[in-house]
């Protein structure tokens, strides 16, 4: 299942995995990346809720931005290699 998901999300993962630089990876980086991604998705959900409750469609823009950032963090944190996680942190 993980290989199928890696293949589906390969355009996103390739951005962070295709570098020839040295990197410094710590397991805590992956845990924090997943936690930050979850928090961004919670912010996105709250933004959508508030935009709908206030009947302000312009409020959906921050929700979309937070949703995209949260999704990328979760994809890289959950499916990415150690190098991809280190590149998200810019650890070299």
More confident residue, 38 or 20: 38
pTM tops 0.95: no
Q: In this structure, is residue 29 part of a structural domain?
A: no
How many independent structural domains does the chain possess? 1
Q: Quote the pLDDT of residue 89.
A: 82
> Is 7 inside a domain boundary?
no
In a domain, 32, yes or no: no
Assess contact for 85 and 77: CB atoms under 8 A: yes
Place of tokens 């931005």: 65
Burial category of 36 from C-beta neighbours within 10 Å (exposed 0-12, middle 13-18, buried 19 and up): middle
Domain hosting 76: range is 37-92
Q: pLDDT averaged over the chain? A: 90
> Which tops the pLDDT comparison, 69 or 82?
69
Three-class DSSP category at 50: helix
Cβ atoms of 33 and 77 within 8 Å: the answer is: yes
């Amino acid at each position: 299942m993980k290989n199928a998901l890696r293949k589906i999300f390969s355009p996103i993962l390739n951005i962070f995995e295709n570098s020839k630089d040295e990197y410094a990876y710590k397991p805590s980086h992956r845990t924090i990346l997943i936690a930050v991604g979850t928090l961004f998705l919670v912010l996105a959900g709250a933004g959508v809720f508030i935009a709908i409750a206030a009947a302000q469609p312009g409020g959906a823009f921050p929700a979309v931005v937070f949703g995209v950032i949260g999704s990328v963090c979760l994809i890289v944190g959950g499916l990415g290699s150690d190098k991809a996680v280190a590149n998200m942190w810019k650890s070299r």
